[in-house]
Structure 1
Amino acid sequence: MKAAYQKHLEAEQAAQQSRDAAQRSIKPHADDSEKQKERFRLIREVVSTCSPTIEKRPDSVSGRTSSKISHAIALGAQAFAAAPDPDIDNGFIVGFDFGTSSLKLAVRQPYRAGENLAVMPVPAELRSGGHAFLWQTAVWYDPADESFSLFPRPGLELLEGFKTGIIGGNGGRRARLDLQVTRSEAAIAFVAMQMAHFFGWYGEERPLREAGGDWFLSINIGIPVAAHDDVQAFRTFRHIVAAARELVASADHLTLSQVRLAHQQAGDALPAGWEIIPELTAAIAGYAADPTSQSGSHVLIDVGASTLDIVAFNLLRGERIAVISAGVELLGSASLVAACENDVQEAVFRSACDRQFHGVFGDACRRSRGSNGFSPVLRSRDVQLITTGGGCASELHAEFIDQKNTPPILGSLPIVRPEPPPSCTSADCDRSRLLLAFGLTRDVPELLELRLPSQVPDIPIHRAPEHFFPSAEVT
């Protein structure tokens, strides 16, 4: 009996040690708090004030490519000028994944069977990482006549990395010190020309065949999930989108003065048919659309070029998907390069990634947020980890992700890297990079059903009575 009792005590002690380790893993030591905050501040300041180089840009494109792009932009601009309003009866939905390194554009016809989903291909010279459907997020500017272009030509200057500064709250700074174009203005020109090009491409190619409508119902543009929950950041992106919409009709010859005027006159209301959607809300929608997706607690980590986005959410079949906690920081793969080039050590950068995770996951583990589904101490099953984004391939980020998917933290379920349906393209490519664009093609009411952290109320905590005496009715 004594031996059995001793064994029981040892088991309890081991269990308590495991619980203590779990709590330590999700909550940084208080002594390190100020140091960690300073690291965040340093990295954010360094990265947000520079325009990081993402990848090698082309010096030129073929005559065929330049003619094809220019022709599509002219057609799209003409079509939009003739019909700027959405088709609410039979329109298609555009998913506009505006990433720091690349743009992905998908289109879906809702409420139709057959070939109702397609992704826009990219000219070989302008592909990001050689991917057939990733268009480099870059725009070229002509200082002579102050015009913009989606492809390089002699005498034009490259503008890139502008979304990083916008996320960091520096959209009003110049994209390049030697040019007068701000980051927000570069983004406006890029979005306007890309939408005109898309409309021209869709009109000529009819990629949805018989299933596709003639005009758009909704253009869903993704922004970082935490930015959507931040009033000032959301307002900045909203002004960029509103200004870009006003310029689609003149995108075949877009000048800085036009962009600047449209930006100055942009109102707070989004135009009809243009929506701003939290990026990870769209990624969750894309994941949830897969019939193999599981119910329960999830953590999604998206590593982009500029940002590390982390979100904890609950997925319940037949009910709303609730985002319990979320965070976005300038800790992506290109941000790592920019930080190291400015004398930030990799260990400091990695520590900041850990702190961001602990902040999001630790918040989800609070009793008032959803601890029973996330806390390593209280949950009944492991948390499903989902990863997206090209930056996951970086050595630092890959190691960071693997160390979170362990029993003391998330558990040991296989990591899921979801993809859109194979029907979106027949090309041999990494379809997981297209998940966000696919998710953005979901119906707006469906996307807006996904609640953000600020929209999810705390769970009331009721203290259990210290003693419980069963009544005669209970017994």
Structure 2
Amino acid sequence: MDRVDLATLNASVPPQVEVSAQTSASVARLVAIGAAAITRDPDPDPMGYRVGLDFGTSATKVVLCSDAADVDYAMPTPPELQVDEEGRRQEHLWRTCVWFNEETQCFQLTPCATSRVILGFKTGLIQGAGHRMLSLGISHHAASTAFLALMIAYIVGFDADRREQQGALPRRYSRFHVGVPVPSLDEDPRVLAFHRVVKAAFAIVPKAGALSLDDVQTALDQEVGSTDTKADSPYQLFEELAGVVAGYMMTPEKAGGPHIIVDVGAATLDVATFYIPDGEHPLEVYESDVELFGAQALQCALAAGVPESTFRAACQAHTHAVLSRTFRTKDYAFLPGTDGADKRMVYVGGGRMTSLHQKTYEGYSKAYLAPMRSPGVGRWLDRDFTTDQERLLLAWGLAQDAGADAIPRIRPPSEVVPSLRRSLDWEAGYAGPEVC
């Protein structure tokens, strides 16, 4: 697997996107509205709406939620900018790419005659190599910052325009919740790069109407070091796993007891185990880990000559490590073939439909007696019902109220200590140290 260069994710085949002048003007108008709104009122409103931002490698999804009597909704994407999967447009999937106008030296969310598309930039952050250059002297850090700044402005502008058309009073955002593909925010060095990029993006949102490469680089140079988010910070980072679990906890498919969760993204493969207790006790995440074994990582591996069997074995080793650690230290139900407590396998992510991943995890589902489920969002979320609703689960979970503990905290590895497994010695009638 060392031969695979994930910098090629999404970068080898630029999308053939033709955007009408009307759509380009509409996108630019909403970006300008959002930039002006944040310039006018730069501080978040604690009573405002929350934005769940699923910043994906190939597609970005956005959900807006509020504790007020407002309708929660998934932000639609202009038709020309939607991700096209197997000939079917996904209304809420915004292609994760940005255009750089070589004439003006500015970034845009839509193409023009003198612009060049830049994509695959999130892979640099995932690999901890955001300083690498993509093209035109633009690093992964710079492209990510520009894309997020433009998207933040667009989201704020879209909501303001939507409410004006509905005759509703204007409102401000409370906080952007951004998902990060790491096992733990507290002990993963890659988190620093995500903080730097998101902080820099918010700093230059007022300039989003004409966002130059110099503006982006200056903001990045100023945002180094701190990973703290205060009460008045405009954003908060969460592990993507935490967002998925938060979304699952609000679905009708939610069940108590032990769970296995598998999130197959474009670049990453997240595997975790957790336990949902009865009553009001907090959800407990046992073990979790993330590796670069997603759907497009599979494509890169095959293109580099890695046998499919080798890639499958890598996915299995990654999964087995999480499950075996859970069995050894936490819960007897995670032994393959056990007839103990009922388990659920939550199988989600945009890359979950590849033949390799599906067959691999169908095997785990049978071996662990864990029925496989791919839950979607609640029916009360205003959205296009033809879109793959499972793709919105992470953004929906991220949009929940972190202050109300709706988004679970993922413990860092240093805090995970072995404890008595949930098991029973049927001969003695009690669970003793000898069964651990």
TM-score, normalised with respect to structure 1: 0.82
Aligned to 2:22: 64
Please state if 1:330 is matched with 2:289: no
Q: Percent identity?
A: 29
Please state if 1:216 is matched with 2:173: yes
Q: Residue 50 of structure 1 contacts residue 165 of structure 1 at CA under 8 Å; is this kept in 2?
A: no
Aligned to 2:314: 352
Aligned to 1:116: 71
Aligned to 2:288, the other structure's residue is in SS state strand
Q: Residue 277 of structure 1 contacts residue 447 of structure 1 at CA under 8 Å; is this kept in 2?
A: no
Structure 1 or 2, whichever has the larger Rg, is 1
Q: Whole-Å Cα distance in 2 between the matches of residues 55 and 438 of structure 1? A: 30
Please state if 1:392 is matched with 2:347: no
Deviation at 1:283, TM superposition (A): 0.7
Q: Whole-Å Cα distance in 2 between the matches of residues 116 and 257 of structure 1? A: 39
Q: Whole-Å Cα distance in 2 between the matches of residues 127 and 323 of structure 1? A: 34
Q: Would the alpha carbon gap of residues 258 and 248 (structure 1) be closer, same or farther in structure 2, given more than 3 Å must change?
A: same
Q: Residue 268 of structure 2 contacts residue 297 of structure 2 at CA under 8 Å; is this kept in 1?
A: yes
Q: Which runs of 4+ in 1 moved over 4 A?
A: 207-213
Q: Would the alpha carbon gap of residues 376 and 343 (structure 1) be closer, same or farther in structure 2, given more than 3 Å must change?
A: closer
Please state if 1:256 is matched with 2:196: no
Q: 2:269 aligns with which of 289, 308, 312?
A: 308
Unaligned ranges ≥5, structure 2: 429-436
Q: Whole-Å Cα distance in 1 between the matches of residues 94 and 394 of structure 2? A: 14
Q: Whole-Å Cα distance in 1 between the matches of residues 142 and 19 of structure 2? A: 24
Q: Residue 229 of structure 1 contacts residue 454 of structure 1 at CA under 8 Å; is this kept in 2?
A: no
Per residue, is there more helix in 1 or in 2? 1
Please state if 1:76 is matched with 2:34: yes
Q: Would the alpha carbon gap of residues 411 and 456 (structure 1) be closer, same or farther in structure 2, given more than 3 Å must change?
A: farther
Per residue, is there more strand in 1 or in 2? 2
Q: Whole-Å Cα distance in 2 between the matches of residues 240 and 163 of structure 1? A: 11
Q: 1:285 aligns with which of 228, 237, 246?
A: 246
Q: Residue 241 of structure 1 contacts residue 270 of structure 1 at CA under 8 Å; is this kept in 2?
A: no
State the Cα deviation string for residues 427-466 of structure 1 (Å, max 9, x = none).
222111111110011112225543324375424459x9xx
Q: Whole-Å Cα distance in 2 between the matches of residues 186 and 168 of structure 1? A: 15
Please state if 1:237 is matched with 2:194: yes
TM-score, normalised with respect to structure 2: 0.89
Aligned to 1:381: 341
Aligned to 2:128: 169
Aligned to 2:411: 452
Q: Residue 74 of structure 2 contacts residue 92 of structure 2 at CA under 8 Å; is this kept in 1?
A: yes
Q: Whole-Å Cα distance in 1 between the matches of residues 290 and 165 of structure 2? A: 35
Q: Whole-Å Cα distance in 2 between the matches of residues 389 and 85 of structure 1? A: 33
Q: Residue 300 of structure 1 contacts residue 311 of structure 1 at CA under 8 Å; is this kept in 2?
A: yes
Aligned to 2:8: 50
Q: Whole-Å Cα distance in 2 between the matches of residues 412 and 51 of structure 1? A: 32
Q: Residue 247 of structure 1 contacts residue 262 of structure 1 at CA under 8 Å; is this kept in 2?
A: yes
Q: Whole-Å Cα distance in 2 between the matches of residues 106 and 349 of structure 1? A: 33
Q: Whole-Å Cα distance in 1 between the matches of residues 194 and 395 of structure 2? A: 18
Aligned to 1:25: none
Please tell me the residue identity of whatever aligns with 2:309: A
Aligned to 1:361: 323
Number of residue pairs matched?
A: 414
Unaligned ranges ≥5, structure 1: 1-38, 469-475
Please state if 1:194 is matched with 2:151: yes
CA RMSD between the two structures: 2.5
Q: Residue 93 of structure 1 contacts residue 217 of structure 1 at CA under 8 Å; is this kept in 2?
A: yes
Please state if 1:160 is matched with 2:119: yes
Q: Would the alpha carbon gap of residues 249 and 418 (structure 1) be closer, same or farther in structure 2, given more than 3 Å must change?
A: same
Q: Residue 31 of structure 2 contacts residue 154 of structure 2 at CA under 8 Å; is this kept in 1?
A: yes
Please tell me the residue identity of whatever aligns with 2:27: I
Q: Would the alpha carbon gap of residues 94 and 209 (structure 1) be closer, same or farther in structure 2, given more than 3 Å must change?
A: farther
